Amino acid sequence: MKNTFWYNNNLPFVEARAVEDGHKFCFDKHSHETLSIGIIRQGRARFYNRGKTVEIGSGEVTVMNPGDVHACNPIATSPWSYLMFHVDVDWFETLNETSETAIQSIFEFTESVGSTPKLFTRFTELYEILIRPDVNCLEKEIAMIESFTELVDIFGTRRRLPPSDSDRLVIAARFIRDNWDRKLGLSEICTASGLSASYLTRSFRQRFGMTPYAYLINHRIQEARYMLRNGLSIADVAHEALFFDQAHFQRAFKRLTAVNPGAFVHSLRG
């Protein structure tokens, strides 16, 4: 196992990745629209999430809520091996639906790091099931449901109302997401959110962990992943995501996913 992706068009709500030598795959701060779970197999690293940095090590499980700005990179003298799972939010929500969730709300995990041998074993086994070609999709989906249900049972979640539309920083972030596919100026974001440029720049970083520009690039890379999955060429994706050229796109993609677009596409075909 070196750096392996798993993805199946028949089970598009989960993506998995195994990394043997994480020193070769380091990340800038970034976020996902998915729920993300990390399984630390070997070594120690510094894990940044929700504005805090902690040291984590083998046997631990990390959970990142959708939208959490995070980064996790190994300590220089330590080996570093892990599994990652990215889970579609809508699919995950269906696992936990009750009559009480009819009100408009979203879930979040309250804890981001846990040392839980049972959960560590469960997700390690899940990955082995997913990559086996002799296991059919029904069995794989059942294994997913059992694993993510157990994640909720052990880590626990809470539901909260989404931020009010009166929150101007949320409006700014939504405006960036909704307009990722065109050129944006800071003045446009300020106009949409009703904030001054200085307040927006300072407060946006405090709220989301990155500048408005970094937030835009991060969202473009997330959209680029979907386009690559759907068969668009790297050159076309670079153009559609408004990068200056293909080289600029490749640098940004690797910085935020720790793998270049060509390797990502190859893994989807494998």
**pLDDT tens, residue by residue, 216-231:** 999 999 999 999 999 9
Instruction: Indicate if 42 and 140 belong to the same structural domain.
Output: yes
The rounded mean pLDDT for the chain is 89
- Measured between its terminal Cα atoms, the distance across the chain in Å is 14
Tokens of 52: 């805090």
Give which of 66, 73, 146 is closest to 112, Cα–Cα: 66
Q: Number of structural domains, the chain?
A: 2
CATH of the domain at 265: 1.10.10.60
Token pair belonging to 151: 């994640």
Q: Which of 121, 136, 160 is the last residue of a domain?
A: 160
Domain boundary among 160, 180, 201: 160
User: Both 146 and 173 in a single domain?
Assistant: no
Each residue's pLDDT tens digit, 127-173? 999 999 999 999 999 999 999 999 998 888 887 766 676 799 999 99
Whether residues 27 and 150 fall in one domain: yes
Which residues have a Cβ under 8 Å from the Cβ of 251 and sit 6 or more positions away? none
Q: What is the pTM of this model?
A: 0.83
Which pLDDT band, with edges at 50, 70 and 90, does 103 fall under? very low
Per-residue model confidence as pLDDT tens digits over 169-195: 999 999 999 999 999 999 999 999 999
**Same-domain status, 172 and 152:** no
